[in-house]
Structure 1
Amino acid sequence: MTQDQVWGAQADEAERRRWFDPTFKIMAVKVLPGEHYVSTAGQEMIVTVLGSCVSACVWEPRLKIGGLNHFMLPESSSNDRAPVDKSMRYGNHAMEELINDLLRRGARRDSLEIKVFGGGNVVSSMSTGATVPIGDRNAEFVRRYLDDEGLRIAAADLGGQHPRRIHFFPRIGKVIRLFLKKDVERAVLNRELTYRSKLKDVPVEGDVELFT
Structure 2
Amino acid sequence: MTIALSLPQTRKFVLNPGELLFSQEPVQVQTLLGSCVAITLWHPQHKLGGMCHYLLPDRQRFHRPERHPHGYFGSDVFHSFLEHIAKARLSPSEFEAKIFGGGNVILWPDRHRFNINVAEANIRFGQQRLREAGFAVKAEDVGGERYRQVVFEMNSGSVWVKYGRCG
TM-score (norm 2): 0.77
Q: Aligned equivalents of 1:130 and 1:148: distance in 2?
A: 28
Greater share of residues in strand: 2
| Kept in 2: contact 1:69–1:95 (CA 8 A) | no
Alignment of 1:1-212 (within 5 A): 26-42=10-26, 44-73=27-56, 85-87=60-62, 90-125=73-108, 127=111, 129-180=113-164, 182=165, 185=166
Number of residue pairs aligned between Structure 1 and Structure 2: 149
Whether the 8 Å contact between 1:53 and 1:118 is mirrored in structure 2 is: yes
* Secondary structure of 1:32 counterpart: coil
Structure number with the higher helix fraction is 1
Structure 2 unaligned residues grouped into runs of 5+: 1-8, 66-72
CA distance in 2, matches of 1:151, 1:41: 21
Inter-CA distance 149–108: structure 2 relative to 1 (3 Å threshold): closer
Residue range with higher mean Cα deviation, 153-162 or 118-127: 118-127
Greater RCO, 1 or 2 (C-alpha within 8 Å, sep 6+): 2
CA distance 1:106–1:129, shift in 2 (3 Å): farther
Task: Note the aligned Cα RMSD (angstroms).
Answer: 2.6
Q: Describe the superposition over 1:2-32 as per-residue Cα deviations: whole angstroms up to 9, x where unpaired.
A: xxxxxxxxxxxxxxxxxxxxxxx63210111
Query: Which runs of 5 or more residues in structure 1 are unaligned?
Result: 1-24, 77-83, 187-212
Q: Which residue of 2 aligns with 1:81?
A: none
- After superposition, the C-alpha distances for 1:61-100 in whole angstroms (9 at most, x for unaligned) are 12101110000216x8xxxxxxx9525x942222221232
One-letter code aligned to 2:93: D
The SS at the match of 2:105 is: coil
Give 3-state SS (helix, strand or coil) of 1:153's partner: strand
Tell me the TM-score normalised to structure 1 length. 0.62
Alpha-carbon distance in structure 1 between the residues aligned to 2:75 and 2:43: 20
